[in-house]
């Protein structure tokens, strides 16, 4: 029960923040896609069209880009993967595109695995990147083939804390 409520809340947030791809060309950001080139050979272009928000609402939001691969794991050890998300300016437009030049090697902890433990598929991400929420411009990410782009929307708390000098 302790896990069920947070899981349901997370699912509700993900559904609410889903990309508006179903709206296609009606989405305000779709008209800006012409600024972004097609993916080069061996690469895939991912496009995220964020749900429309007012500028005031967007000021309290950030998008976390999670880019990686689905890999087989023993389900016991923690996997990590090297790589970086590089910001690039789209010449003549002033937009930002994101690119992962290459995925680094995967590393794992080396804990003993109980006999008979089944292999499981697990999404393994490179270090994530937090970017500004802007529903008027598409989030465009170029990754090597075999990679995946996932994202989540973060929101600021209504309350703030006061720091003490010292």
SS3 71: strand
Residue 3 included in any domain: no
Number of domains the chain is built from: 1
Residue 13 lies in a domain: no
Domain assignment of residue 63, yes or no? yes
Unique residue bearing structure tokens 């600024």: 35
For residue range 101-135, what is the model confidence (pLDDT) as tens digits? 999 999 999 999 999 999 999 999 999 999 999 99
Rounded to the nearest 5 degrees, what angle is found at the Cα of 150, between the Cα atoms of 24 and 12? Answer: 80
CATH of residue 52: 2.60.40.550
Euclidean distance between CA atoms 112 and 74, whole angstroms: 10
Q: Is the pLDDT of residue 13 over 50?
A: no
Is the confidence at residue 2, as pLDDT, over 60? Answer: no
Distance, in Å, from the CA atom of 142 to the CA atom of 128, rounded to the nearest integer, reads 15
Contact 74, 119 (CB under 8 A): yes
Average pLDDT, integer, range 56-77: 97
Query: Does pLDDT of 91 surpass 60?
Result: yes
Average pLDDT of the residues of the chain: 89
| Confidence at residue 20, expressed as pLDDT on a 0 to 100 scale | 37
In a domain, 124, yes or no: yes
- Residue 72: domain span: 19-155
Q: Is residue 11 part of a domain?
A: no
Report the share of the chain in percent with pLDDT over 70: 85
């Amino acid at each position: 029960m302790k896990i069920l409520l947070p899981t349901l809340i997370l699912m509700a947030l993900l559904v609410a923040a889903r990309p508006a791809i179903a709206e296609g060309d009606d989405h305000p950001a779709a008209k800006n896609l012409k600024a972004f080139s097609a993916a080069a050979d061996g690469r895939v272009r991912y496009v995220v069209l964020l749900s429309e928000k007012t500028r005031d609402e967007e000021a309290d939001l950030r998008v976390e880009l999670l880019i990686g691969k689905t890999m087989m794991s023993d389900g016991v050890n923690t996997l990590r993967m090297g790589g970086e998300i590089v910001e690039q300016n789209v010449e003549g437009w002033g937009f930002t595109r994101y690119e992962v030049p290459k995925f680094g090697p995967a590393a794992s902890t080396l804990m003993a695995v109980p006999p008979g433990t089944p292999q499981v598929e697990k999404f393994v991400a490179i270090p994530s990147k937090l970017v500004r929420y802007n529903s008027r411009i598409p989030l465009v990410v170029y990754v090597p083939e075999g990679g995946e782009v996932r994202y989540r929307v973060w929101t600021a708390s209504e309350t703030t804390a006061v720091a003490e000098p010292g």
